[in-house]
Amino acid sequence: MVAASSIEEQVEELVSVMHRLGRLGSLRDPVSSIAELDLAPAQIHALMWLGIEGELAMGTLAQRIGATLPATTRAVDRLKSLGYVLRERDHEDRRVVHARLSAKGRRLHEQFDESFREKLTFVLAALSDTDRGRLLEILERLADNLSTWAETHRTSESTA
């Protein structure tokens, strides 16, 4: 593959590679092995974020899953009806509602996490030790740079 000379060309290369990877559907979906569940993507994302971060305010959870507050509320309502999530009002500000995983929800998150780690192990095993190290370095640098950008962006918005 010839290295792209402009960011636009690099974007096109990345899109192409992402499409190729996307065609490997069973590899990209960390919960595909738990097929008996009838959960929408927003519900799965809510379960994942609550498992990763613990208790979250509904507004924060909506930001994490990239959904509106009403859509997040519907997702959490469904998860609550299935016994995966508990909701309670904030003790200091009764307008704020927090969601957290129940014991049943934590067990399901553990299944998701185990499946996700198995798929990552399979994917990373396709690379050499050196390439895995490079990939991790690049992803770490990307996360750091984007975190710095997001913090700077938030700070500049709050002072404007």
| pLDDT greater at residue 79 or residue 93 | 79
Half-sphere exposure of 127 (CA within 13 A, CB side): 12
Domain definitions of the chain by residue range: 25-126, 128-160
Per-residue model confidence as pLDDT tens digits over 8-64 = 998 999 899 888 887 776 655 656 555 567 888 899 999 999 999 999 999 999 999
Half-sphere exposure of 38 (CA within 13 A, CB side): 3
Tell me the pTM: 0.77
Percent pLDDT > 90 in the chain is 56
CATH architecture of 25-126: Orthogonal Bundle (1.10)
H-helix or E-strand containing 17? helix 7-22
Residue type, 59: G
Percent pLDDT > 70 in the chain is 86
- Which candidate, 154, 152, 132, 133, places its Cα nearest to that of 144? 152
**In the structure, what pLDDT confidence band is assigned to residue 91 with cuts at 50, 70 and 90?**
confident
